[in-house]
Structure formats: C-alpha cells, structure tokens
Structure 1
Amino acid sequence: MNQNQANAFAAKWIEAWNAHDLDRILSHYTDDFEMNSPLIAKRLAVPSGTLKGKAAVGEYWQGALRAYPDLRFELLKVLRGVSWVTLYYLGATGNEVAETFLFDGNGKVTQVFASYA
C-alpha cells in the first residue's frame, strides 16, 4: 500500500461516515471482516470486543448513526503499513480515535482495530 492509496481510502472512508451512508461505509469491507473495539465490549457486553461480518457490524454501526445524528469525523493523520492503514481522527464526541485497517489482496478491509483516547 502506498501513501496515495492510503490517502484515497481515508478520504472515501471519512466521506462515507460523514454522509451517514451505511452502504458506502460497508463497501470498504469483506463480507466476513472483524471489527475489534472497546466500545463493542462496553455497549454490547461482548467481552472480546469483536464482531464479525457485515450484518453484525452494520447493525452496530446503524445504532451509532442513530445515536449520533450529527456525527462528523475529522481526519487528522493517515499512517500506512505494508497491508494496513491507521487513521487518526476526531470521533463522534470529539475524542481522539485511531483505527487500524488490515487489507486483503483485493483492497478490501478484513480486520479493524479501534483505539480511543
């Protein structure tokens, strides 16, 4: 993954969230991707903090979009690895968030790790 690809992913991902367009958001992911977040552990009482698949994660994210009707993410930094990207941004409540996205060979996200300040 080069920096241009990482920046393009970041721009499209942020735009999809800021548009509150769940279909566009989910278009970045494989059908069986895993989302790992301490908020999943807290809000859904899932001790591992992991949800798997577009259906489960989509339902969780739909709830977040309803809970935060004015949700807007502000991208601060794009960091890249070999087959992953970390987006550093301000989240729904203005908190600092870092999400690391692991990509497959087709450019789709297979796993995500979210961290919150």
Structure 2
Amino acid sequence: MDTRKLIGDTFAEHFVEEWIAGWNEHDLEKILSHYTEDFSVDTPLAMKRLPETKGFIKGKDKIRAYWGKALENNPNLHFRLINICCGINCLAIYYESVSIQKQVVENLFFNNEMKVEKAIMMYSK
C-alpha cells in the first residue's frame, strides 16, 4: 500500500496555525496533540542543553519533560511564522523564535494518521 501523500496547503496552514498557537500559549498538551507516542526530535538545542542526548530525544514522555522545562525556563517564548513549505509526508515550518532571536526551520514528518512521527530542527547562526 502506497502511503506517500503530498501535504496540501489547507492542511499545512491549519496545522501550523494550531501548532504555533500551542507554543505561543505555552500549552504543552495542545502542542503534543500533533505527535505520535513514539515520535523523535533531532535538535541542536537538546545537544547543547542535554549533551547526553546527542541532540536526539525519542518518545512523547521524554519530549514532554524536555519541552515542559523549556517552556518553564522561557516565559517569553513566542514564535512568529515566516513561511511554510509542503512536501511528501512532510512540511517545514520556517519561523522566528522571538525570545532567542533566531530563525528556525522545523521539518515535520507525518505518519498515515497525519501525526508527526519525526521532527528535525535547524537554527540560524
């Protein structure tokens, strides 16, 4: 069965609107509702803050703890959308993380149920 699917503009816009709202509202459960139970993230921030992870965290419970601490430590965290790029089973969210004054590209890979199973983050210099 072919599970490759082009992410459409309507889905992408709705998804990103909810995703950014969750982060800007600091609503961890709203954020996590978009992800599978065993999703993974690759992020240079985890490599910096939790060197033992080597930048890779897997599983909703571990990521909940990591993101929860990030939200707690960054009460001014706010994202501003720059653009969205759609691909096959994936989309990239290009945004500015206002609190750390960095631009970010977050690549999200979706399963058949349109839940994120993998996220890869990249930050500007």
Q: TM-score range by the shorter chain?
A: over 0.9
- In the alignment, structure 1 segments of 5+ residues that lack a partner are none
The TM-score normalised by the length of structure 1 is: 0.96
RMSD of equivalent CA atoms: 0.9
Match of 1:111 in 2: 118
Displacement of 1:46 in angstroms is 3.0
Match of 1:85 in 2: 91
Displacement of 1:70 in angstroms is 1.2
Q: Which runs of 4+ in 1 moved over 2 A?
A: none
Map 1:64-103 to 2 at 5 A: 64-91=70-97, 92-103=99-110
* Post-superposition CA distance 1:41-85 (Å, at most 9, x none): 110013531100111011000111011101110010000101101
Cα distance in structure 1, aligned partners of 2:76 and 2:43: 21
SS at match of 2:82: strand
Give the counterpart letter for 2:121 in structure 1: A
Match of 2:23 in 1: 17
- In the alignment, structure 2 segments of 5+ residues that lack a partner are 1-6
Map 1:26-41 to 2 at 5 A: 26-41=32-47
Map 1:25-64 to 2 at 5 A: 25-46=31-52, 48-64=54-70
The TM-score normalised by the length of structure 2 is: 0.90
SS at match of 2:52: coil
Match of 2:3 in 1: none
Q: How many residues align?
A: 117
Larger Rg: 2
Cα distance in structure 2, aligned partners of 1:12 and 1:94: 22
